[in-house]
Amino acid sequence: MDLQTALFLLADGLTNGAVYALVGVSLVLIYTTTRVVNIAQGEYVTFGALTLASFIEGAIAPVVWVVGIGGAVSLALDVRQAILNRRSVVRPVAQYAAIGAVLAALTLAAWHTRSLALQMLAALALVSALGPIVYRLTVEPKPGSSTVVLVIIGVGVSMIMHPMALLLWGPDPRSVPAISDGRLPLGPMDIAYQSLFVMAVSILATLALFAFFRFTLLGKALRAASVNREGAQYCGIPVVLAGRLSFFLAAALSAASGLLLAPLVTAHYEMGFVVGLKGFVGAAMGGLVNYPLSVAGVVTLGALESFASFLSSSYRDALVFALVIPIMLWRNRHAQEDLDEH
């Protein structure tokens, strides 16, 4: 392996990592605010990409139905909850109606427009709306569930969303135009502008989330909600809203990842699963609680993957996953000092 090849691989690894980074960051977001380990996060990537593809083809994205039905069920549950708590029914209905109106407007606009930006926005909005719906239906009913139960619920969500993508869009890959088709020459190699966009968005998102949770009061309140739910409620922190909001944001980030990734690898129903898994592994290397570390984790994973692919493409995944373990051990040891038993 000469220097040029090594550089190529390194650049390659960074690009990989950028792809996984947004998913990794959304996983950290969800974990730090709700303690849910969301294995199904990769599906939002798929849905985001395919929804955009639908708009570009000039069709109404079938995901509209899913959002509509899911939203209706959530509304029904919320209304029931409001009645049981003897609170106003008008509020949830109004909220859902407002959100529904916005989504409908965006969808119609995207359906008729040629503007890529508007289509991306609409796709992003629709798929992000799935996040709180999933939260409402699977986590909110029993927020105190144990890790095992939440992990398996995540598996269940994955079992619903993965075949749904196949059902709604079929197995054929669909093309999505890039924001920019060019490539940036860097010495002997080049990187697609689109990849740079992905990296830029990932870095921005990471910094924003990091700053938000570390320095703002609201961010700290949201973190508190996951550490001690009841205590946070007594302090007036809207715990339920926190959960829905974080799922919304996480879905948005993952969908954005899908939108940006699709031009590079086409939108097809299998694209999200592996990205989600590798994002999860990378984020976990950062302990699932730390944004900068999780980005470092996914980038490390991306680089590992790149080099392992070069060394032996058949054993690539075995090498990468096997190397995850010593990294986790090392992290675990360093985390021991300030971690109490869980």
3-class DSSP state of 238? coil
Compare residues 104 and 274 and give the one whose CB is closer to another protein.
Answer: 274
Size of the site for another protein (CB under 8 A): 76
> What is the Cα Rg of the chain in Å?
20
Query: Rule CB under 8 A: is residue 306 a binding residue for another protein?
Result: yes
Which of these ranges, 96-104, 133-141, 202-210, 290-298, lies near another protein under the rule CB under 8 A?
A: 133-141
Query: Rule CB under 8 A: is residue 200 a binding residue for another protein?
Result: no
Question: Distance (Å, rounded) from C-alpha 66 to C-alpha 63?
Answer: 5
User: Between 149 and 188, how does the x/- string for binding to another protein read (CB under 8 A)?
Assistant: x-xxx-xxxxxx-xxx-xx--xxxxxx-------------
Q: Which of 323, 254, 199, 336 is nearest to 28 (CA)?
A: 254
- Residue 313 CB burial class (10 angstroms; 0-12, 13-18, ≥19): exposed
Strands annotated E in 92-193: 183-186, 189-192
Angle of CA points 182, 185, 191, to nearest 5°: 65
Compare residues 221 and 302 and give the one whose CB is closer to another protein.
Answer: 302
Residue 186 phi, psi (nearest 5): -130, 85
Residue 270 phi, psi (nearest 5): -95, 0
Among the listed residues 19, 103, 237, 250, the single contact to another protein using CB under 8 A: 19
User: Between 70 and 109, how does the x/- string for binding to another protein read (CB under 8 A)?
Assistant: ----------------------------------------
Which of these ranges, 62-70, 208-216, 229-237, 316-324, lies near another protein under the rule CB under 8 A?
A: 316-324
Query: Rule CB under 8 A: is residue 313 a binding residue for another protein?
Result: yes
Among the listed residues 12, 75, 222, 279, the single contact to another protein using CB under 8 A: 12
Query: Rule CB under 8 A: is residue 275 a binding residue for another protein?
Result: yes
Angle of CA points 143, 216, 300, to nearest 5°: 75
CB of 51 to another protein, least distance (A): 18
CB of 137 to another protein, least distance (A): 8
